[in-house]
A and B are shown apart, each in its own frame.
With several copies, the nearest count.
Chain A
Amino acid sequence: MKLHEYQAKALLSKYGVPVPRGEVASSLSEVRRIAKSFEGNCVVKVQVHAGGRGKSGGVKLVKDVDSAVAVAEQMLSGNIVTIQTTAEGVPVNELLIEEALDVTKELYLSILVDGGLGRVIVMASEAGGMDIEKVAEDSPDKILKEVIDPNIGLMAYQARNLSIGLGLDREFHSQFIKLLLGAFNAFIQTDCSLIEINPLVITSQGQLLAIDAKASIDDDALFRQKDESFNYDSRQELEIENLARASGLSYVKLDGDVGCLVNGAGLAMATMDVIMAAGATPANFLDVGGGADVNKVHKAVDILLSDSGVKKVFVNIFGGILRCDVVAEGIVAATKSRKTHTPPIVVRMLGTNADEGRKILKEAKIGVHLVNDFTEATKTIKSLS
């Protein structure tokens, strides 16, 4: 679960990581009040769940209150499109207004899980404010790493090793160590999957500060992170994805026109790849899951078809835990309950009760195209365009 920058900063601050003074605003009057408190010298930042906002005009430095309000008005007027969003972009509902700071050095700091090592790692670099992926490619020696033993956690000496490795002056070591230990604590205590401070800066007053911050909470740990004050901002997600989540479906909207209904995440990705390889484009990722019943399949079809971009549907089921007859019944129920036209549905069914499922679909006479393998499936999908 992604946090907004202001939520990430509130979390970090709670654990002793210094952040700039700032407040969140969702109206222009709030913006005016906050900007005034900084005598107009402030930074206005859109709060969206998408990276790359800086290059898309989502972060502006202003010198006076009126400019702050003008910038804010423009930002709040519509969606922002960045390299990480769809063409539609994401809505801007909140702005973070922060004091402007005089920065003398920009660093990079992150805490994340390294799946290969099966450990949490801390990464730091003197190349702050840049895309860390690019730094890793261009000058890998500029990236420092400390691997954390899960039994003892981050040790101060590891933070000291990083501080020295970053070439910080000795006077900054204790600030850096305290900051990193705090951030690590936040990471562990709130089951984060990522904390990224980029840039971590040194100001001309000699203070280390997290000027930008990203944080994500491990979705699978949310059950035990209930009392945290950060709430998920569902406005940042598409309505259709929120609906899917509410129904317990794993759904990701894409830009194509072939709606996909699959069981299993791996097979769902494979299905998207097959569609793409055939020269068509998938409209979504959708895993109905192993434990789906008729109602859930019905719901899945409804959600799938609520995307007006979907011109045809590919149902690809390998029955295992989920029986093909259950899926068939769900499709029939959904199709029959629709008042508007249903796009053509191509169905491939294998595994548990595949014959029964195909029989149900045939007998329902809802005009689905039954296919036997991927080749036939892609041919049929293409023929439908």
Chain B
Amino acid sequence: MSIFVRKDTRLLVQGITGKEGSYHTARCIDYGTNVVAGVTPGKGGQLFEEKVPVYDTVKQGVDETNANTSLVFVPPAFAAEAIIEAVDAGIQIVICITEGVPVSDAIKVCEYVNRSGARLIGPNCPGIISPIDKVKAGIMPGHVYAPGRVGVVSRSGTLTYEAVGQLTPLGIGQSTCVGIGGDPVSGSDFVDVLGLFEKDEATDAIVMIGEIGGTKEQEAAEFIQSNVSKPVISLIVGQTAPPGRRMGHAGAIITGTAALASSKVKSLEKAGAFIVPSPADIGTTTMEALSQI
């Protein structure tokens, strides 16, 4: 069984009629995802690709289709509200792709979602894919992935594809791949996902891809030390990033010693993770770790 998304995932797409929303919804359907509804205020009543009903509100969509998971593509200024609307309508897992959500919105919305007992992934994340359950709720290129027993969790989109692109040719398939997103404040952190992978019977090892900025990797290291028995293979990128500059992701900025890649690597090493020496070695390091199980 995969984590977050599964065979019984009934996906609702918020912003389904937008440029990004419509493109990726079609790709999700192609991959095998059960997309049951779309939402765009003012466009209720339409059919997306002649099969997915579009609603004006999430409530209508959930009432009509029993959607349980939502994928959010709405513009940054409206993303926080879209997430809250989904949670209030009873959606259990909200995956927010939108990049550029103000941090203060993210703080409020994460607190709200936590309080409600639902789960938020993102914002500014590539989403979630489960090759074993053939469910894709995100923007990743599905053909790169292959079913298997390694879980992947990452702050970065394309770097995850890179990682999987190294794993799959080596015969290392994936159980679930989760992008937690590149923003400083996000709904789910490494710790949350590591905890789920640790409990997940379909996962034997975890590839964790971090980067400079913040302390999410240090928190992960602490968690790994005391709570994760499965091997963790870890890559941290941004060793060569200059301090004080935002490297694309809002969260990827070296603001102090802890934010340095070297600090993060040190913590993870101490916690017993397998350290990937260079981004070129994700596949081989994982292979090595798996051979020791």
- Contact residues of A with B, CB < 8 Å? 51, 84, 113, 115-116, 118-120, 133, 136-137, 149-152, 155-157, 160-161, 164, 170, 173-174, 188, 191, 193, 218-221, 223-224, 250, 252, 254, 262-277, 282, 285, 287, 290-291, 318-321, 350-352, 373-375, 378
Choice from B100, B103, B139, B239 contacting A273 with Cβ under 8 Å: B239
Task: Find out whether the CB atom of B107 lies under 8 angstroms from the CB atom of A120.
Answer: yes
- Contact residues of B with A, CB < 8 Å? 20, 23-24, 41-42, 44, 56-60, 76-77, 81-82, 84-85, 88, 100-108, 110-112, 126, 139-141, 144, 154-162, 165, 182, 184-186, 189, 209, 211-216, 219, 235, 237-252, 256-257, 261, 277-280
Contacts of B42 in A (CB 8 A): 170, 173-174
Task: Find out whether the CB atom of A267 lies under 8 angstroms from the CB atom of B141.
Answer: no
Question: A150-B111, A218-B104 given as contacts; is B250 within 8 A of A266 (CB)?
Answer: no
- Bound together, the chains give a CA A375 to CA B282 distance in angstroms of 12
Question: A160-B41, A319-B141 given as contacts; is B156 within 8 A of A265 (CB)?
Answer: yes
Choice from A84, A191, A267 contacting B244 with Cβ under 8 Å: A84
Task: Find out whether the CB atom of A254 lies under 8 angstroms from the CB atom of B242.
Answer: yes
Contacts of B186 in A (CB 8 A): 118
Q: Which partner residue on chain B sits nearest A352 by CB separation?
A: B141
Question: A113-B107, A266-B211 given as contacts; is B157 within 8 A of A320 (CB)?
Answer: yes
Expressed in whole angstroms, the minimum distance between the Cβ of A163 and any Cβ of chain B is 9
Expressed in whole angstroms, the minimum distance between the Cβ of A361 and any Cβ of chain B is 19
- Bound together, the chains give a CA A351 to CA B257 distance in angstroms of 35
Question: A157-B58, A266-B156, A351-B144 given as contacts; is B244 within 8 A of A274 (CB)?
Answer: no
Task: Find out whether the CB atom of A152 lies under 8 angstroms from the CB atom of B280.
Answer: no
Question: A113-B107, A115-B215, A173-B41 given as contacts; is B248 within 8 A of A250 (CB)?
Answer: yes
Expressed in whole angstroms, the minimum distance between the Cβ of B138 and any Cβ of chain A is 10
Task: Find out whether the CB atom of A188 lies under 8 angstroms from the CB atom of B249.
Answer: no
Number of A-B contacts (CB under 8 A): 219
Q: Which partner residue on chain B sits nearest A49 by CB separation?
A: B244
- Bound together, the chains give a CA A133 to CA B182 distance in angstroms of 24
A-B contact pairs, 25 of them (CB 8 A): A84-B244, A115-B251, A120-B104, A133-B257, A155-B84, A157-B59, A157-B85, A161-B59, A170-B56, A191-B103, A219-B250, A220-B76, A224-B102, A263-B158, A265-B248, A266-B156, A266-B157, A267-B158, A269-B212, A269-B237, A269-B238, A269-B241, A269-B247, A269-B252, A352-B141
Task: Find out whether the CB atom of B156 lies under 8 angstroms from the CB atom of A264.
Answer: yes
Contacts of B182 in A (CB 8 A): 265-266
Task: Find out whether the CB atom of B162 lies under 8 angstroms from the CB atom of A274.
Answer: no
- Bound together, the chains give a CA A374 to CA B162 distance in angstroms of 10
Expressed in whole angstroms, the minimum distance between the Cβ of A351 and any Cβ of chain B is 5
Expressed in whole angstroms, the minimum distance between the Cβ of A373 and any Cβ of chain B is 7
Contacts of A270 in B (CB 8 A): 159, 162, 235, 237, 279
Q: Which partner residue on chain A sits nearest B19 by CB separation?
A: A291
Q: What 12 new A-B contacts, CB under 8 Å, besides A219-B250, A269-B248, A290-B157?
A: A133-B256, A152-B84, A164-B56, A170-B42, A218-B250, A266-B154, A270-B237, A285-B248, A291-B20, A318-B165, A320-B141, A374-B278
* Cβ-closest 10 pairs across A and B: A266-B156, A265-B248, A264-B158, A266-B159, A374-B280, A270-B279, A221-B102, A115-B214, A115-B184, A267-B158
Choice from B57, B101, B111, B212 contacting A118 with Cβ under 8 Å: B111
Q: Which partner residue on chain B sits nearest A270 by CB separation?
A: B279
- Bound together, the chains give a CA A290 to CA B124 distance in angstroms of 12
Task: Find out whether the CB atom of B249 lies under 8 angstroms from the CB atom of A152.
Answer: no
Interface centre among B140, B186, B249, B280 (most CB of A within 10 A): B280
Q: Which partner residue on chain A sits nearest B246 by CB separation?
A: A219
- Bound together, the chains give a CA A242 to CA B275 distance in angstroms of 37
Task: Find out whether the CB atom of A265 lies under 8 angstroms from the CB atom of B244.
Answer: no
Question: A115-B184, A374-B280 given as contacts; is B111 within 8 A of A268 (CB)?
Answer: no
Task: Find out whether the CB atom of B280 lies under 8 angstroms from the CB atom of A116.
Answer: no
Question: A51-B244, A285-B248, A351-B161 given as contacts; is B103 within 8 A of A220 (CB)?
Answer: yes
Contacts of B165 in A (CB 8 A): 318, 350-351
Task: Find out whether the CB atom of B279 lies under 8 angstroms from the CB atom of A374.
Answer: yes
Question: A155-B81, A269-B211, A269-B237 given as contacts; is B185 within 8 A of A285 (CB)?
Answer: no
Q: Which partner residue on chain B sits nearest A119 by CB separation?
A: B107
Expressed in whole angstroms, the minimum distance between the Cβ of A53 and any Cβ of chain B is 13
Question: A173-B42, A321-B139 given as contacts; is B156 within 8 A of A267 (CB)?
Answer: yes
Q: Which partner residue on chain B sits nearest A255 by CB separation?
A: B242
